[in-house]
Homo-oligomer: A and B are copies of this chain.
Amino acid sequence: MPTIIVNGAMMLVIAKNSRDDMVRAAIELLCERGYAGTSFGDVIERSGAPRGSIYHHFPGGKQQLVTEAVQRYTAGILRALDHAAESGGAVDLVRVFVDVVRSGLRASDFRRGCAIAAVTLDATPADAALLELTAESFQAWRSRIAAAFRRDGATEARARRLATLVVAAVEGALILARAEHDVAPITDVGRELEEHLSDSR
């Protein structure tokens, strides 16, 4: 990160970077310790951003920061699914989803789960807007996967059920894997899902 501010444009670059850093830090912390366990102070410490800047960038407070973190995390998974959909069928999307989740868990030494699940589980009635947002995230992933099942010939209802099974099973396997400090539950679930999909064809 540049340390000398030479003009207004450079200042803007710095500001943008620190904003990005804060959203990235928020995603990491949500994945590691959940929504209730993540404070503005934690995000400042993790991102290395100046204390005052977080209030400047996120005048809506923790809710605004977490909203952006949820949206960015959701979009990252969607990009991976869309990339797989360009050249493959539903089973390829399932493989990519399993791989993304498994490699994220491994890369973080089993410390990071899913940011969307983390927000859902800690949300109280006061966080209704965030809960709606997490519902939209899960829906977005499921509808991308369901579209691939429909392209493969499944009926609309079956495609919906299969996509729900895939997202649910991978989310659940991530929790088991994190608790056990072992990717085996994700690998086992990936294998059973592929078997189920080949039986269903």
Contacts and interface: CB of A to CB of B under 8 A. Distances in A.
Given A168-B185, A176-B138, A162 B192 contact: yes
A160 interface: yes
B37 A117 contact: no
A170 B138 CA distance: 15
A138 B37 CA distance: 23
Interface stretch (A18-26, A27-35, A84-92): A27-35
Interface in A77-102: none
Given A36-B37, A165-B193, A168-B173, A120 B188 contact: no
Please give the count of copies of this chain that the complex contains: 2
Contact of A192 (B121, B125, B178, B196): B196
A187 B52 CA distance: 47
The A interface is mostly helix, strand or loop, or mixed, namely: helix
A33 B173 contact: no
A68 interface: no
A134 interface: yes
A34 B35 contact: yes
Interface string A169-193: 1111101101111001100110111
Contacts of A111: 125
Interface in A102-149: 111, 113, 116-118, 120-125, 131, 134-135, 138-139, 142
Contacts of A200: 195, 199
Question: Which of A124, A172, A188 neighbours the largest number of chain B CB atoms within 10 Å of its CB?
Answer: A172
Interface of A: 32-37, 111, 113, 116-118, 120-125, 131, 134-135, 138-139, 142, 160-162, 164-165, 167-173, 175-176, 178-181, 184-185, 188-189, 191-193, 195-196, 199-200
